[in-house]
Amino acid sequence: MDVKKNTINVVMLPWIAHGHISPFLELAKKLTKRNFHIYLCSTPINLSSIKKNITKEYSQSIELVELHLPSLPNFPPHYHTTNGLPHHLKETLVEAFFSAGPTFSKILQTLNPDLVIYDLNITWVAEIASSINIPAVQFLTFSIGMIVFFLHMFSKPGVEFPFPEIYLREHEVIQMQQLAKGYSKFNIRDTFIESIRQSRDIILVKDFEVKYMDYFSQLVSKKIVPIGSLVNNSIDQIDEHALSITQWLDKKEKGSSVFVSFGSEWFLSKEEIHQVAQGLELSKVNFIWVIRFPKDEKISIDDVLPQGFLERVGERGMVLDKWAPQSTILQHKSICGFVSHCGWGSITESMQFGVPIIAMPFYNDQPINARIVEHIGVGVEALRDENGKLQSEEIAKAIREVVIEESGEGLRKKAKELSEKMDMKGDEEIDGVVKELVALCHNK
């Protein structure tokens, strides 16, 4: 600890996805207001994209530290992020990141922090920190419902899971098995368990469901410390692109529109895009839809949308093929629903702003997150067919229930209530986090 200033110096290492880096950065901002100095470590391509989010207020207390991944064939540095990464390169990215231990070790030895905060599945961080007597604490940016589902499955095979609302459908199980095969050489199961086990005494979580946190604590014999939603409430910087979006929304009635976005990592097939388009058309609801394509692929919106779609929806819809100011859009008075892939960051952001969710999960933790959204009563899932295919009629039905139908009044009300409840907590949870981290640094 810096005795002169009594400042606690922390190195943070999230997984190199925006949905992980963003909550780490928001946590960093909150900690710097409580006498912490943060070194946020990631690849240069990721750091260049978040620099704009570090305002003058934080420029002295949050330092960005470049983590250079090992050089691999046909894998240049602009691919060192999940954002827009072609699917066939995801395994290569994991391999490169898992090989970055020696580089990170040099960073730790140079900075000599009081504490390291690390992400899920990165076992070498805690090992390196422990070797030089630095405590390492895990911060989980996933839903704890998802964490306990898999932890229970791995550690208590054959024992009934205590939360029946959380489950996977048959097509999701098959997809999960196929995904695991693709990463078999990394032994994800063991790294998942080991990275949790290595966290010193406590685990930080971005969640609010007490029953899942209690069971997590029981499974791992550690104190689980909730950290709050870590959603940036400020309106995104308004450039010309963002201004055109807000001006379009300003013309729509209050609570009449949905925002449609599936994150920065999942790219819909042409067939899936057609089903979503037809669902939006059938719903008769206003929408802003962000369609993402992999890096380096020369595809345009016109190439993938159904013929005549834009003409038929007219002023009712806006379709974008680039970044959109999600926080600004979700806070707009005309937005009454978020058609989402159910990444946990998007879900907590939607909850923070009181926007109910039309759940369209694709892979990984997303199906379980969709079950949680329905269970707590702030969203509806657009059901797929038995083969896991999107269905335009179900998409339209879910959108109309959330935005228009009387049957959705309860979830619209619940979404607002949950937002108010999250606001009321304020800094209560982060103060608890600070207390735990300070104690850990004093006792190392």
Residues labelled catalytic: 20, 119
CA dist 251 and 34 (Å) reads 42
Q: Is 69 exposed, middle or buried (0-12, 13-18, 19+ CB in 10 A)?
A: buried
Give just the sign of the alpha carbon dihedral 295, 299, 304, 305: positive
CA dist 46 and 88 (Å) reads 20
Q: Report the chain's terminal Cα–Cα distance, integer Å.
A: 11
Burial letters 175-208, b for 16+ CB under 10 A, else e: beeeeeeeeeeeebeebbbebbebbbebbbbbbb
Tokens for 158? 């054959």
What is the chain's length? 444
SS in 3 state form for 200-216? CCEEEECCCCHHHHHHH
* Residue 87 bridge partners (DSSP): none
Query: Do 400 and 285 form a contact (C-beta atoms < 8 A)?
Result: yes
